[in-house]
Amino acid sequence: MTTETTAAPAADLTPARHSALWWAVSDCAAMVWRGLLYYKREPSMIAWQLGFPIVSVLLFVYVFGSAMDVGGGADYKAFAMPGMFAMTMAFGFMNTAYAMVVDKEKGVMDRFRSMPMARSAVVSGRGVSDLIGAAIDLGVLALIALAVGWRSDGGWLQTAYAFVLLLLLRFALIWIGIYLAMFVKGQEQAGNLFAVAFPFGMLSSVFTPPSLMPDWLGFIAMWNPVSSTANAIRELFGNPVATGNSWIEQHAMEMALVWPILITLVFLPLAVRKYQRLSR
Amino acid sequence: MGERDWAIEARGLGKRFGEVTALDGFDLAVPSGTVHGLLGPNGAGKTTAVRVLATLLDSDEGSALVGGVDVARDPQEVRRRIGLTGQYAAVDEILTGRQNLELFGKLFHLGGRRAKARASELLERFDLADAGDKGVKAYSGGMRRRLDLAASMILAPQVLFLDEPTTGLDPRGRGEVWTAIRDLVAGGTTVLLTTQYLEEADQLADEVTVIDRGRNVATGTPSELKNRVGGDQIEVVAAEGADLAAVAAAFDGVSTGEPTVSTEHRTVSAPVADRVAALSTVASRLQASGASIEDITLRRPTLDDVFLRLTGHRAEEEASSPEAGSDGPLAQPATYETGADARTGADGIPDERESTEAEGALR
C-alpha cells in the first residue's frame, strides 16, 4: 500500500439508476454468476454432489441388481435409473442448505445484507444457480446412465418433459433447503441434514416398488413426493413403472406437478420470511 | 440536532435477545470525518451496536441515524452510505480477490464495466494486484483483511464500520491497515472502529466510547480516558495470596489512587505519578516486609485498567477464553508489556478465522 493514495476514486461511483424490478433481476444475475463461478473454480463440487447417487447406482444395479425383482420381469436397470435421477434431485436440498449455511457462518451473508442490493437476490440467486447446478448434475447422470445401458423409450418431448419434472422437484426443494439453513448453526450441523435427506430419498419408489414393502412403509413411500416424480418420469421414459393400484400411484403424472407446487407454496414464503427475520 | 454534523447519532438503543439485554439505552454521537473507537469487553454490546447501525439488526428501542438517514425507516438508503469490514462481513473464499470485488461492485449497482475497473483500482491500492487472480483461500490473514477492507470501500462510503480490523495481524499488517484507515479519513470517510487495543484507539481514534453492559459508560479522547485511569501503573504479583494485604500496604502514600487487588491473579496494581521513585520505594518496602514476590512491573495503563476504573470489573471477567493469545507478542501492541488487552476475545462471536490468523501471524 502506498501512502500517497487517497480515498477519492478515479471514476464516478454513482450507482446506476434503474427500477426496483430491474435491480432484482440484475442482482439475481450477479448472484447466479457467483454460483456458476463456484463450478468453474471448484469442478470437484460436481463429483461431491454426485458421489452418492453414482455409488448407489453401481451398488444397486451391479451388486444387488441380480437379486432385485420389481415384478413383471422388468429390467432392474431401467427401473433404477429414473429413480436415481429423482433421488439426486431429492438430495439436492442439502446442497442449497449447505451453501446458505456457509455464507451465513463466514459472514458473507452479512455483507450482502449490509449492501444496497435487492433483498430478494440472495434467495433468488441461490435458487436459480442451484437449478442450473441441478441441470448440470442431471446431464452428467444421464451420460452415466446411458453409459451403463439405460435408454429412454419415450419421444423427445416426453423425455424433455421428464427432465422438466425432475427440475421442478428440485426447484421446490430449494425452498426447504433455504428454510432449513436458517435454523442450522454451522457447517458440522449442516452435515447432519443427511439424516433428513437419506430417508426422504430412500423411503420411496426410487429403488424398490412400495407395493413390495410392508404396508405401513409402502404407504409412506407411495406418498413420498419423490415417488410421484420417479413414477411419472418412468412412464415418460417408457421405463418399467411397477406401480400398485393405489390412487397416489395411479396419479403419478399429476402428483409430480402437484407435490412440487404444494411444497413451493408452503416453503417459499416460510424461507423468505425466515430470511427477512435474520434482522430480529 | 446541534451545529455539529453527525455521521452517526444513536439515542437510547435497546436490544434484547430473550433474557439477555445486549443494548440498554446506548447513546453514541460521532462527528463526520472522524475516527471513533468503540471499546468494551466481551459481551458488552459492541457487536450488537454495530449490527444495529449497519442495518443488520433491528433494535427494540431507540433510534439511530447513519449519514443522516434513519436505519429503521430507510435501511436501503443507509446501506448506500456505509461499508462494513471485520468479523461479521467477509469475503467469498472460493472466488478470487478480483471476482469478489467485481461481484460486490455489481451488487453495489456500478454495472459490469465500472465494477471491473473499480476492482482493479482497489486491488492495486490495497497491494493485492499480484494476488488478485488467486483464490481467497490461499490468502494470508493480512491479505484477506485488506481484501475485506477493499470490498467495504467500493462505493467510497460515507461511514465505515471496522470491527477489530487488525486483530491477529502482525505489526506490518497492522501498520498497513492503519495507513489505509488514515487515507480513508483524509478522504472524508467517518470510521467507527471497534477494537480491543487501546493503542489502536490511541493511534487512530479522535474519540473513544467505552461500552459496558449495553451502555455508553464514557466518551472522550484516548488521553482523557487514560488520564482517568491515572497514568502509569505498578503491578506486583505475590507468590502467596496471604501476602496480598502486605503488598497493598507497600503502596501507601506512593500511589495516586487506591491499589487494586486481584486475589484470583494474586496481583496488586496501582497508578503512580513518579515512575522510578515510586517503583524503588515500593520495591524496598516489599523487601522489608518479607512478602514473597513473583514479579514487579511498571507499565502503561491497559484497556483492562480502563475497564476496571470505568466499569468496576475486569474486561476478562466476561471473556470465555482467558489468556488466549496473551503470550503472543505479535498479537498485541508492542508498547504494552502485559497481555491484559489481548485477553478480550472476539466480542461474543466465536470466529475461527480470527484465531487461525493469530497463529499465522506468530509463525
If one compares B22 and A62, the residue with the highest pLDDT of the two is B22
Contact A8 B155 (CB under 8 A): no
Beta-carbon separation of B107 and A16 below 8 A:
no
CB-nearest partner of B89 from A11, A110, A117: A110
**pLDDT reported for residue A255:** 93
Higher pLDDT, A159 or B224: A159
Residues of A in contact with B99 (CB under 8 A): 34, 37
Task: Report yes or no on B121 lying in a domain.
Answer: no
For residue A34, list chain B residues with Cβ-Cβ distance below 8 A: 92, 95, 99, 103
Nearest CA in chain A to B129: A1
How does DSSP assign B25-61, residue by residue? Answer: EEEEEEETT-EEEEE--TTSSHHHHHHHHTTSS--SE
Task: Give the end of a domain, one of B194, B226, B258.
Answer: B226
Best probe of the B interface among A12, A111, A275, by most B CBs < 10 A, is A111
Average pLDDT over residues B337-353: 34
Do the chains contact at B109 and A15, CB–CB below 8 Å?
Answer: yes
Residue A257 phi/psi, 5-degree rounding, is -95, -45
Residue A278 with chain B: CB contacts under 8 Å: 56
In angstroms, the separation between the Cα of residue A129 and the nearest Cα of chain B is: 15
Dihedral over Cα of B330, B335, B340, B341: its sign: negative
CB contact under 8 A, B84 and A1: no
Length of chain B: 363
Instruction: List B residues 198-257 in contact with A (Cβ-Cβ < 8 A).
Output: none
Residue B151 belongs to a domain: no
Examine the domain organization and report whether B71 and B57 are in the same domain.
yes
pLDDT of residue B87: 67
If asked whether residues B259 and B196 sit together in one domain, one would say no
- B163 and B68 fall within a common domain: yes
Instruction: Examine the pLDDT at A100 and tell me if it is beyond 90.
Output: yes
pLDDT score of B323:
32
Interchain pair A37, B187: CB under 8 A: no
- pLDDT, tens digit, for every residue of B168-181? 777 877 887 888 78
In a domain, B76, yes or no: yes
A157-161: which pairs have CB atoms within 8 A and are 24 or more residues apart? A158/A236, A158/A237, A158/A238, A159/A236, A159/A237, A161/A236
B221 and B243 together in one domain: no
The chain A residue lying nearest B184, using CA atoms, is: A7
Residues B163 and B294 reside in one and the same domain: no
Within a 10 A sphere around the Cβ of A196, how many other Cβ atoms?
14
Interface mutation target, options A31, A110, A124, A280, chain B, most CBs of B under 10 Å: A110
- The whole-angstrom distance between A279's CA and the closest CA on chain B is 4
Of the three residues B299, B325, B348, the one that is the final residue of a domain is B299
pLDDT-based confidence at residue B302 (cuts at 50, 70, 90): low
Burial of B124 (0-12, 13-18, 19+ CB in 10 A): middle
CA proximity to B159, closest of B293, B31, B344: B31
Quick: pLDDT tens for A59-80: 877 887 777 777 767 788 888 8
Point out the residue among B95, B146, B183 whose CB comes nearest to the CB of A5. B183
**What percent of chain A shows pLDDT beyond 70?**
95
Taking the Cβ of residue B72 and every Cβ of chain A, the question of whether any pair is shorter than 8 Å is answered with no
What value does the mean pLDDT of chain B take?
A: 80
Q: Do A7 and B156 touch (CB under 8 A)?
A: yes
Distance from the Cα of B170 to chain A's closest Cα (Å) equals 15
Rounded Cα–Cα distance for residues A165 and A55 (Å) = 24
Contacts of B304 (CB under 8 A, 6+ apart): B314, B315, B316, B338, B340, B341, B343
Residues B74, B162, single domain; the answer is yes
The whole-number pLDDT of residue A237 equals 93
Residues A61, A77 contacting (CB under 8 angstroms)? yes
Claim to verify: residue B167 and residue B258 sit in the same structural domain: no
Tell me which of B284, B299, B314 is where a domain ends. Answer: B299
Q: Is residue B71 part of a domain?
A: yes
Q: In degrees, to the nearest 5, what angle opens at C-alpha B340 toward C-alphas B337 and B346?
A: 130
State the Cα–Cα distance between residues A21 and B184, nearest whole angstrom: 34
Q: Which band of pLDDT confidence, cut at 50, 70 and 90, is reported for residue B88?
A: low
**Which range in A88-102, A193-207, B244-258, B314-328 is most confidently predicted, on average pLDDT?**
A88-102
- If asked whether residues B62 and B162 sit together in one domain, one would say yes
Work out the minimum CA distance from B325 to partner chain A, whole angstroms.
Answer: 22
On whether both B72 and B165 belong to a single domain, the answer is yes
Residues B237 and B285 in one domain: yes
Q: For residue A22, how many C-alpha atoms fall within 13 Å in the half-sphere facing its CB?
A: 7
Per-residue model confidence as pLDDT tens digits over B1-18: 445 789 999 999 999 998
Instruction: Give yes or no for B125 touching A (CB within 8 A).
Output: yes
- Determine, yes or no, domain membership for B252: yes
Average pLDDT over residues B48-63: 94
pLDDT at position A33 is 96
Packing angle of the helix pair A121-147, A44-57 (nearest 10 deg): 50
Most confident of A203-207, B80-84, B331-335, B344-348: B80-84
Q: How far apart are CA B132 and CA A225, in angstroms?
A: 46
**What pLDDT score was predicted for residue B259?**
86
Which pLDDT does position A240 carry in this prediction? Answer: 82
pLDDT for B89 equals 56
Grade residue B341 by pLDDT with cuts at 50, 70 and 90: very low
pLDDT at position B58, please?
Answer: 95
- For residue B304, what pLDDT is reported? 64
Interface membership of A10 toward B (CB under 8 Å): yes
How many other β-carbons are positioned within 10 Å of the β-carbon of residue A185?
10
pLDDT at B342 over 80: no
* B152-171 residues touching A, CB cutoff 8 A: 153-156
Q: Determine the pLDDT at residue B146.
A: 86
Q: Residues of B with CB below 8 A from A9's CB?
A: 118, 121, 156
**Are B218 and B251 in the same domain?**
no
B179 and B205 inside one domain: yes
pTM score = 0.79
pLDDT of B221 higher than 90: no
CATH number for the domain spanning B186: value is 3.40.50.300
B139 CB within 8 Å of a chain A CB: no
Secondary structure letter of residue B232 according to DSSP: -
CB contact under 8 A, B146 and A1: yes
Centre a 10 Å sphere on the Cβ of residue B134 and count the other Cβ atoms it contains. 14
B304 in any annotated domain: no
Q: Are B9 and B64 in contact (CB under 8 A)?
A: yes
Closest Cβ opposite residue B108 in set A33, A115, A279: A115
Indicate the number of domains in chain B.
2
- Closest CB to A13 among B87, B125, B155: B155
* In-domain check, residue B261: yes
Averaged pLDDT for residues A127-142: 93
Nearest to B56 among A38, A114, A117 (CB): A114
Q: Is the CB of B80 inside 8 Å of chain A's CB atoms?
A: yes
Using a CB–CB cutoff of 8 Å, tell me whether B82 touches chain A.
yes
Grid cell digits, residue B8: 452517526
CATH of the domain at B250: 3.30.70.100
Q: Does A11 touch chain B (CB under 8 A)?
A: yes
Question: Residue A128 has what pLDDT?
Answer: 95
State whether residue A67 sits within 8 Å of chain B by CB.
no
Displacement of CA A201 from its chain's centroid (Å): 11
Q: What is the pLDDT of residues B141-155, one digit of tens each?
A: 778 888 998 999 898
Please report the residues numbered 41 through 60 in chain B whose beta carbons come closer than 8 angstroms to any beta carbon of chain A.
54-58
- pLDDT tier at B27, thresholds 50, 70, 90: very high
Q: Is B14 inside a domain boundary?
A: yes
pLDDT exceeds cutoff 80 at B315: no
Residue of A nearest to B183 (CA): A6
Whether the CB of B121 is below 8 Å from some CB of chain A: the reply is yes
Domain containing B253 equals: 232-299
- What is the percentage of chain B residues whose pLDDT exceeds 90? 38
